């Protein structure tokens, strides 16, 4: 008998915004060579993994709608980030991004989307795909819109100051 995600025990999750939380926000990042990790970011992801939590990334990527880069660039950067995390035994269970923006210059991406934060679509999509214990899950973002998306999805949200992500995260996690 095949097991579905609903059959598995639910686990808590940490939802990470990308730019400004996992990496320095340089504006419209899409090249691996320009990514600078936030201090403690990789270690924070590993800490989440080590506790058995899901680790997710939810990121607005309006640069696609603005014609600055393509979805393939976003996916390639996420693949590179996953490879870098794997070097220390860390992983992201799913990367979600929203390429849409209502003022985009690329017609097919010029639209409002319930996946664009502050709307909760990326989070709710993940909640449908994975057996997440929402009561023990939370989001870390660097913008009020990140926290609005978390609230709209029924999650706690924490505003990250941009210093060391591991030090910020540790008090939010249960101690063994």
The answer for residues whose C-beta is within 8 angstroms of residue 104's C-beta and 6 or more apart is: 62, 64, 65, 66, 67, 110, 111
Helix extents (H) in the chain: 41-50, 62-65, 71-86, 121-129, 144-152, 165-169
Residue 64, pLDDT > 60, answer yes
- In which band, very low, low, confident or very high, does the pLDDT at 7 lie, cut at 50, 70 and 90? very low
Neighbours of 147 (CB within 10 A): 21
Structure-token pair, residue 139: 């989001």
Average pLDDT rounded to a whole number, residues 107-133? 98
Estimate to the nearest angstrom the gap between the alpha carbon of 86 and the chain centroid: 17
Average pLDDT over residues 21-35: 96
Report the topology of domain 12-141+153-167.
Rossmann fold (3.40.50)
And the tokens for 73?
């660039």
The dihedrals phi and psi of 80, each to the nearest 5 degrees, come to: -65, -45
Residues with a catalytic annotation lie at 17, 19
Predicted local distance difference test score (pLDDT) of residue 138: 98
75: CB partners within 8 A, 6+ apart = none
% residues pLDDT > 70 (the chain): 95
Coil, helix or strand for 15? Answer: strand
**Residue ranges of domains in the chain:** 12-141+153-167
């Amino acid at each position: 008998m095949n097991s579905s995600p609903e059959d598995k025990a639910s686990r808590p999750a940490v939802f990470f915004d990308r730019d400004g939380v996992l990496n320095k926000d340089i504006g419209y990042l899409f090249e691996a060579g320009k990514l600078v990790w936030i201090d403690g970011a990789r270690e924070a992801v590993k800490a989440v993994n080590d506790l058995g939590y899901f680790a997710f990334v939810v990121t607005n990527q309006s640069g696609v709608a603005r014609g600055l880069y393509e979805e393939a660039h976003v996916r390639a950067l996420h693949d590179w980030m996953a490879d870098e995390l794997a070097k220390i035994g860390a992983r992201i269970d799913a990367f979600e991004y929203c390429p849409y923006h209502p003022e985009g210059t690329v017609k097919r991406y010029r639209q409002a989307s319930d996946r664009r934060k502050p709307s909760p679509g990326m989070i709710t999509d993940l909640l449908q795909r994975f057996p997440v214990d929402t009561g023990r899950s939370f989001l870390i973002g660097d913008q009020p819109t990140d926290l609005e998306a978390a609230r709209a999805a029924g999650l706690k949200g924490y505003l990250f100051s941009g210093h060391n992500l591991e030090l910020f995260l540790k008090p939010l996690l249960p101690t063994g």
